[in-house]
Amino acid sequence: MGSEWLSPSSAAPESPDNGPAMSPSEFESIFDQVSAWDRWPLPDRGAWNRVTARHVRDATALVRSGVVVPMARPWNTVAGPDNHKPALHYMSDLGDVEAPEPSSYKDFIAVDFHGKAVTHVDALSHIAYKGRLFGGQAARGAIDAAGAHYGSVDRLGALVTRGVLLDLPTVQDVDWLEPGQAVHAEDVLAAEDRLGVRIREGDAVLMRTGHIRRRHALGPWDASIASAGLHVDAIPLLAERGIALLGGDGDNDVRPSPVAGIHSPVHALAMAAMGVPLLDNLDLEALSAACAAAERHEFLLVLTPLNIPGGTGSPVNPVAIL
């Protein structure tokens, strides 16, 4: 794998199973069905309003072994088919500025993190549908060159709640789901049954497709063209369960999109309709192994975005504690 560039066809399948296709009118119907507008007094925190002190206390009771599993991918400064805008990292001080002692070493980092390479959380200001953010707030005026004035990542704060891992390759007895393979509501239910876990209100649901394992085995590909992820028909189930956060080892959407004219339907439904922030580009391989060893797929999840006033999201290193 390394830093080599591979064409999308060298690693991604030619015939993705992303269907069934859905019409825009069918999508609109689901949008209305799962919408949680006007539900909470703090709308720009969205579904994180579901997580109360009771949820936090219950989640901390899940800690038994004390095994801590970080889920961020490495900071990626190498251009590739799945990293169109590499992160920056360089040394700004090599110990020759502050003398005589102690010497000081400093570095600089920067990133355009909304993409396929950096582990990040999407705040509710990241996605609008038909010009409206979650809660019906018009995106025009709420977001300008200075940043987001509604639904920004600093409004989210930290999230401590119960996490659930839906380990789809384990459930389906495969190494990974192929890019373009859709995960449907029945797949979520089958995962609950096979893994002995049930999604509850206030949960953070993390879905492993084996993206990282496949990338290590076959090399990188352009995940904006083909990636395993959720089909639109799985979203009403997650809305009914009352989740607070949705994450995956891709960007949660199956690609190509099954909805004509809407390139990221799961993003639109989760954030603009349900008020559920998204975690994109997780590394769930170590968590998969830890959950298998513990014989349970629930854990304490801790997520602390950077406090960026006006930010549409933040790079993060979520942690699962078993």
What is the percent of the chain where pLDDT is above 90?
89
Confidence of residue 3 (pLDDT cuts 50, 70, 90): very low
How far apart are the C-alpha atoms of 259 and 22, rounded to whole Å? 5
State mean pLDDT over 263-283.
98
Q: What 3-state DSSP class applies to 72? A: strand
* Mean local confidence (pLDDT), 19-32: 96
Mean pLDDT, the chain, whole residue set: 94
Q: Report whether pLDDT(2) > 90.
A: no
Quick: pLDDT tens for 72-104: 999 999 999 999 999 999 999 888 766 678 888
Residues 239, 274: Cα–Cα separation, whole Å:
7
The predicted model gives 188-209 an average pLDDT of 98
Comparing 237 with 94, which gets the higher pLDDT?
A: 237
Distances 43 to 28, 187, 196, 267 between C-alpha atoms, Å:
21, 31, 33, 17
Identify the pLDDT of residue 42.
Answer: 86
pLDDT of residue 139: 97
Distance CA 95, CA 102 (A): 9
The fraction of the chain above a pLDDT of 70, given in percent, is: 94
pLDDT at residue 196 above 90? yes
User: What is the C-alpha separation between 19 and 83, in angstroms, rounded?
Assistant: 26
Is the separation of the CB atoms in 247 and 238 below 8 Å? no
DSSP 188-254: HHHHHHHHT----TT-EEEEE--HHHHHHHH----TTTSB-EE-GGGHHHHHHHT-SEEEESS-SB-
- Determine the pLDDT at residue 100: 75
pLDDT at 13 over 80: no
- In this structure, what DSSP letter does residue 255 have? B
Neighbours of 105 (CB within 10 A): 11
Q: How large is the average pLDDT for residues 2-16?
A: 46
pLDDT attached to residue 16: 65
